[in-house]
Every structure is written in C-alpha cells, then in structure tokens.
Amino acid sequence: MGEAALVSGPPVVRAAGMWKRYRGRPAVRGVDLRVERGELHGLIGADGAGKSSLLEAIAGVLSFEGGVLEVLGVRIDSEASAERVKGRIGFMPQGLGLNLYPELSVEENVDFFARLRLVPAAALAARKERLLAMTRLAPFRRRPMKHLSGGMKQKLGLICTLVHEPELLVLDEPTTGVDPVSRRDFWAILSELLRSGGLTALISTAYLDEASRFHRVSLLHEGRCVASGDPTEVRRLVPGAAVSVEAEPQADAFAALKAAFPQVEALGGTLRVFVEAATPEEATARVRSALARTPPRRVAADEPDLEDAFVALLRREGARVEAGPPVAVGAPAAPGGGDAIEADGLTRDFGAFRAVDQVTFRVRPGEIFGLLGANGAGKTTVIKMLTGLLRPSAGRGRVAGVDMARSDRAVKRRIGYMSQAFSLYTDLTVAENVSLYAGIYGLGRAAARERADALLAMAGLARHRDARTASLPMGMRQRLALGCALVHRPEVVFLDEPTSGVDPLGRRRFWDILFELARRERVAVLVTTHSMTEAERCDRLALMFAGRIVSDAPPAVLKRDVERDAGRLLEVVADDPAGAVERLRRDGLGDPVLFGRRIHVLSPEPERDASRIRKSLAAAGIACRGIEPVPLSMEDVFIYRVRALEEREAWRAGGRS
C-alpha cells in the first residue's frame, strides 16, 4: 500500500502527552502518536517500553491518567466514550491464541465472535468464507483450535478480530512464536485487507526485521516515543556505516571491536560493526585500527539497516545493548576432537504419525548450529531425543560421545537444556532459581554461590538477584533461564526457541552470551529459532520439513544456492506498491511480496525482468521509481525452500490420488 492509497483527513489515532501509571510508576510517559487513515503503523520497543499499555488504551480496554487520546474521531476521556468506539475496533492481545477458545473448532470460534459482535447472519456467511480462504484455513474449519499450529492460531485470531469489519485493527505482537512462512502469510493478508477494505492497522512487534514492512514506525523507550517516521526516515536519523569483518581468532577480534565500538554483533563467521557518524571509508579505517593486534582477512563496508538505527537510538536514550563481562561458563570441549552432537538416522513415530524421519547431522565443539523449520516440523522432538527425554523409534543420537538412549544421570550432567516452555520458578528470586538448579546438578554451596555470581554478571542480572522472577521482563527471564542451564558447566547446550517473545535488545545480549560460550569455552550450541535474523548468527543451519532434514549448510551457502536456483532478489519502488504487486502477479512476473512501500521479487534474469517490470507498471499507469538488486535474507531463503517443498509434496499427493 503506497502513499497514494492513504486517505487524507483527520488521523485515526491521535495521542498527545499521554500518561499511564501502575501504582504510581509510569508505563507511558507523555507519548505523542499519530496514526493516519489507511496506514500500517508499527510500534517498536524493548520489554517495558509501554507498547502494550499504549495499545490497550487505544483499544479502549485500559484507562489512562493524563494527556489527550482521540480514536476514530472520538475523544477518549471516560469509559462511556471508550465504549462508543469499541465496536469499530478489532483488538488482538499478545500471546498465541489467547483470544480464542481451545475446545471450539476453527469455524465455531469464528461464529462465536461473529455473534458476540452482532454480525448479521446474512453477512456472516460470505465474510467468513472470504477470510477462511484468505488465511488458507478453510480446509481446517472443523479442527479444534487447540490442535492448530502457532501460525494457524494467529491467523484464526486475526479472522475473529476482523469478522465484524472494524475500521481500526490493533494487534499486540501478533507474530511472536510464529514460523517465517506463517509470518509472511500474515503480512500478506494484512496488506490485502488494508488495500481492499479501507482498514487502518496499529501493530507492535518484537522482530526488528519486520519494521521495514510498516508504512511508518514509532520507537518507544521507557514509556516515551523517541522517534517516528517511515522506515527510511528513521534509518537516516543515525548516519553511519556498517562494516563486516572476518578475523581469527574471532573471539579476540570480537573483544577488540567491543572495546572500540558500542554496536558489534557476531553473524556466524562474520563480525558486524555499526560505526556511527562515519563514511564507509572512515568506518573501514577505524575498524582496521581497532584490530591492529588481530589483522582481519576481510573488511567490507555497507549501508546500515533499520536495526542499526533502532539500537543506536535506544543507546542514546541510555538503553544497555551489550551483555555482561565474559566468564568461564562452560566446560572445556571433550578431548579427542570428535563431534559434540551426532544424529544418525534419528526417527520418532507417535502411533501412525512419523514426527521425525531419518534425521542426520553433526555439531562440532564451539559451533553454533541452528535447527530451522515451520511449526510442527519436528525440531523439538529431535532435541528431546538428543537429550534423552524421548527414546528414538529408530536411529541413534550421541552427545558428548555417549549414546543418549543408554545414558545415565552422570552423562546428562554434561548437557544444558533450555526448553521451549518457561523453565523457571517465578515465585523464587533470581538468585534462588540459580541456587535451585545448582543443587539439582549436585554443586556444593560454595561452588553454587561462585557460579551464581559469575552467571548473573554475565547475564546482566547482578543488580536483580533479589528480584522475584515473575517481575522480570521476558528478555531478563530468558537470560536467567540460560544461566540456570549453564550452572553445571555443560559441554553441550540445547536451546529450544530461547528468545521467542524477547525484545530486540534482549535478543542481542542473549546472542552475545552464546557467542562467548561457543568461541571461548568451545561449548557446542544447538538452537531452534523462528527469527531469521538469529539464523544469520549461526555457523551452520539445518532446515527441517515434515520431519526431515532438507538442507544443511552455512547461511551464506544456503543463500548462494537459492540465488543459483531462483535468481537475484529485486527491490522495486513504485507509487502504488499494493497495486503494483497485483499487476505484476497478473502479468506473471514472479511472486512479488510487499515490504512496506517496497516490493521484493526473485528474478532469474534481473536485467530482462527489470525491463518487463517497468513496462508492466507503465501499462497500469503506476510510476516505477527504481529497481535494484538487494541481498537475500534468510527469510527469503527459508520461504523459497519451504514453499518449493510444499508444492512438490502437493504434486506427489495429486499424482497418487
């Protein structure tokens, strides 16, 4: 949806100097916000920034103490005024399927919300069929909600939020915990609805890579709005250059760069540095100077991305972006140089259903290995077999040199495991949780105290040691859970979606810890994630589909393979992006995807296709402002591979029928 499609006139949401307090403590502090009619507006911010409180006030389900709030032309200054606009708003709270009823089927949930919203029966039938078809849930209309995947739950939640055709859609982190394919479906559905229905959407997200999909974004920090504008404008608020570096030993280069620059991250074998207020040439020279004792093999400067700008803006506001000091948190790698994790033909059946099918891979000491896949691909089942929690139906899993099917308690003490479900005791303090896990793993009192001090310093939780765990933001809880998984100095660590729901700064600090753990302590790390920016941080990735490993390579190799098979990724800038996507699809020009006000399309012949795209748009009366190749993201790779496999499976099924 482009600027031309936005409807002029008064804003749908206007907040001026808005305040919200909990027990005297401010959650929203003097926020100014403006959401224009017909736009997709994003709220970005760390845990505790005030996003949920602001959204709930706008949706009319939370009172506030100060300032002005107008929604859909109504000044919200009482419960009665909030009730006047609730029928024109669709609100979806944070959490997978929390606004749904588990025992009801897909269709029963839709019908229930339609009755609740007084949707006329005559209008419901056509409306329901359109939404079920758009979300690809029509074949599952009789399936109970509790048996849906995370992505399907969120799409059903969206249907139930839209069934009364609201004017304003308010969504609180709707894609958290959702796999990349379902996330892209989710955004495509929103784009189509905004174009066809005159809808306005205000959405918060924990994924910074989604920020480029919005028409405009607002960055919140500690209850205040510190920046607002379209993604390009926000990125330009912090001029500078991003520098990619390859150097060995990587851990020493990382430490040297951290000492010289506030924004450094490890992406597999590459270190990435954001150098503020510097040209590419100046940034490259400064990075080389910082690495005088560890001369780099390769240094290359590039344009900074939106995440670089967001993190820099938050840092200016006093947010901490780095992890605590590195400490010895793991055990030395096992002698002999063997693999730390070996999966050989691992298979697991649940009755007639095969959840994992002949999975084979290796993980070396000091390697960060990512296991990717859509919801239900079999990732968690693989981890449970490798940690001895599930016995394989066939195949073998060895960890730290031991067959886990015949492992004893002593071997399991060499393994750290952080489950997908929350694994802490929320009524205990931070220090008490660490002490409890230390006792479970047999550490003496003195050793437990020493480990707790080191781990809490590493996780940046030393000043929160006496806080109840329930009071911590999600990012802090997850770092505490990691500390508890490391308390016994394991050789191998399994992490199942450890940062789901964690804010961008918390995610960066978490991965800094994993990098130090792998590179300095040579601990093998196996991690599952739905965040494709996190996938870039892994040394190697295995993609699972329907219980099988379908690719296993470093991220750069996976990208090269997709470019070889499907071509380059072109970014198209046009006056009416949504109309342009529709036109390009109609003319058979690839599978264009809308990213905010830009269009991405894979092209096997970029020069020829660029010319065809320009002609197609010109014939539709849509001005094309530019076309240029851009790097593939891991999301592009993941979705291309999964959709190709889905099409192959559908073709095989059709051939058998």
How high is the pLDDT of residue 583? 92
Mind listing the pLDDT tens digit for each residue in 230-241?
998 999 999 999
| Same-domain status, 575 and 547 | no
Structure confidence at residue 113 as a pLDDT band (50, 70, 90): very high
Helical axes 150-162 vs 121-134, angle rounded to 10°:
150
d(CA 29, CA 315): 18
| Same-domain status, 385 and 445 | yes
Give Rg (Cα) of the chain. 25
| Same-domain status, 217 and 246 | no
Q: Is residue 329 part of a domain?
A: no
Report the candidate in 175, 240, 247, 181 with the shortest Cα–Cα distance to residue 211: 175
Q: Are 219 and 228 in contact (CB under 8 A)?
A: yes
Q: Is residue 332 part of a domain?
A: no
Q: Is residue 315 part of a domain?
A: no
List the helix and strand counts (H, then E) for the chain. Answer: 21, 28
pLDDT score of 414 more than 60: yes
Number of domain units in the chain: 4
pLDDT score of 569 more than 50: yes
Q: Identify the CATH number of the domain in which residue 297 sits.
A: 3.30.70
| Same-domain status, 211 and 244 | no
| Same-domain status, 373 and 484 | yes
Q: Is residue 225 part of a domain?
A: yes
Q: Is residue 409 part of a domain?
A: yes
| Same-domain status, 425 and 469 | yes
Q: Is residue 424 part of a domain?
A: yes
Report the candidate in 490, 75, 492, 502 with the shortest Cα–Cα distance to residue 480: 502
| Same-domain status, 485 and 528 | yes
Q: Are 396 and 403 in contact (CB under 8 A)?
A: yes
| Same-domain status, 529 and 487 | yes
Report the candidate in 190, 106, 209 with the shortest Cα–Cα distance to residue 152: 106
Structure confidence at residue 655 as a pLDDT band (50, 70, 90): low
Structure confidence at residue 421 as a pLDDT band (50, 70, 90): low
Least reliable range by pLDDT among 117-126, 150-159, 519-528: 150-159
Higher pLDDT, residue 100 or 656:
100
Which of 303, 330, 359 represents a domain boundary (last residue)? Answer: 303
| Same-domain status, 137 and 93 | yes
DSSP H helices, 574-633, are: 577-586, 606-619
How high is the pLDDT of residue 447? 86
| Same-domain status, 492 and 351 | yes
Mind listing the pLDDT tens digit for each residue in 279-300?
999 999 999 999 999 999 999 9
Q: Which amino acid is at 237?
A: L
Least reliable range by pLDDT among 180-189, 257-266, 303-312: 180-189
Q: In the chain, what are the helix, strand and coil shares in percent, each to the nearest 5?
A: 40, 25, 35
Whether the CA torsion 649, 651, 653, 655 is positive or negative: it is negative
Q: Are 261 and 273 in contact (CB under 8 A)?
A: yes
Give the chain's length: 657
Higher pLDDT, residue 59 or 441:
59
Residue 366: burial class (beta carbons within 10 Å; 0-12, 13-18, 19+): buried
- Output the average pLDDT for the chain: 88
Per-residue pLDDT averaged across 153-175, rounded? Answer: 91
pLDDT score of 4 more than 50: no
Q: Is residue 327 part of a domain?
A: no
Q: Identify the CATH number of the domain in which residue 475 sits.
A: 3.40.50.300
Domain limits for position 109: 3-234
How high is the pLDDT of residue 8? 59
Structure confidence at residue 359 as a pLDDT band (50, 70, 90): very high
| Same-domain status, 230 and 261 | no
Which of 234, 263, 293 represents a domain boundary (last residue)? Answer: 234
Q: Is residue 326 part of a domain?
A: no
Which of 531, 553, 575 represents a domain boundary (last residue)? Answer: 553
How high is the pLDDT of residue 208? 79
| Same-domain status, 55 and 144 | yes
- pTM (two decimals): 0.86
